Structure 1
Amino acid sequence: MTSDEDPGTHTPVTFETCFHVEGPFYHGTKSAVEVGTELVPGHGSNFHAARVSNHIYFSALVETAVWGAELATALASSEERGHVYVVQPTGPFEDDPNVTDKRFPGNPTRSYRTRHPLRVVAELEDWEGHDPAVLKGMLDHLAQLREQGLDVIED
């Protein structure tokens, strides 16, 4: 589904029904890895200190992965540019419940999660980041959610 489609037409993507969803797929991160690397869940969350993530997240939209790369890098207080990778899921996946229908009707960000590895097939080098003021606004919003106890991640 693209962001301009009617969210009421969204058919939920589940582990059983994911095989019709076509890529390419992207993953944004602060980590530099080589092509061929398998990204796996079980690492620290970028958004909650001392929390291990049970899933690995990805999107069919570059823009969503760019947000992932920028936020992960900024939240780690890194001055480095994040990375956006083209990835291939190695197992079933589902809609990311943290954005699907909770924050956005349907799944306009085309965000998914899996407990299986994502194989890195390429790095997207020419992605454009957000204006620093826009990024700061998003970081401020995340901090506000955290202060209000509303930064819950269903994992």
Structure 2
Amino acid sequence: MSDALDDGPFFHGTKADLRPGDLLTAGFPSNYRPEIVMNHIYFTAMPNGAGLAAELAPGDRAPRVYEVEPTGEFENDPNVTDKKFPGNPTRSYRSAAPLRVVREVDDWVRSAPEALAEWRRKLAALQGDERAEIIN
């Protein structure tokens, strides 16, 4: 672990149906900029933050949140820490190493439809904006 501030537990949001022991890996398109293949897998120490990421992920499947454990070193997510927010208030991290699924989490709070619509509007507005560059 580098300068990450948390010891866990950690969570990942997705629309994939996973089982304990499954590995989540980098190398897939970004949920927010699908033209970019991600070099890292992202996670958070906040289950509701992982839930929001799952709700915003593309696809028609149900959003899911999983408790995960990093299998290698990880760092504060530079896309939201210091570059955009001082410190790491979102408790967001990334790793080039896989994340191992521990269990599915059912007690996260879902976003209101109006809030999701606003998030989707904001994300759409960022398309093509150089200031919204992803640090990959």
- TM-score when normalising by structure 2: 0.91
2:77/2:93 contact within 8 Å kept: yes
| Other-structure match for 2:55 | 70
* Structure 1: gaps (5+ residues): 1-14
Are residues 1:100 and 2:81 paired?
A: yes
Residue 29 (str. 1) matches residue 10 (str. 2): no
DSSP 3-state at the match of 1:150:
helix
Answer whether contact 1:142 1:151 (CA < 8 A) is retained.
no
Stretches of 4+ aligned residues off by more than 6 angstroms: none
Q: How do 1:114-153 residues align onto structure 2 when only pairs under 5 Å count?
A: 114-153=95-134
Percent identity of the aligned residues? 46
Within a 5 Å distance, the mapping from 1:6-85 to structure 2 comes to 15-18=1-4, 21-72=6-57, 76-78=58-60, 80-85=61-66
Contact preservation (8 Å) 1:27, 1:57:
yes
Name stretches of at least 5 consecutive residues in structure 2 with no aligned partner.
Answer: none
Q: Please, what is the CA RMSD of the aligned residues?
A: 1.6
User: Matched residues in 2 for 1:77 and 1:146: separation?
Assistant: 19
Counterpart Cα distance in 1 of 2:59 and 2:24: 22
Q: Distance in 2 between matches of 1:129 and 1:150?
A: 29
Match of 1:91 among 72, 85, 105: 72
**Range 125-134 or range 106-115, more displaced:** 125-134
TM-score scaled by length of structure 1: 0.81
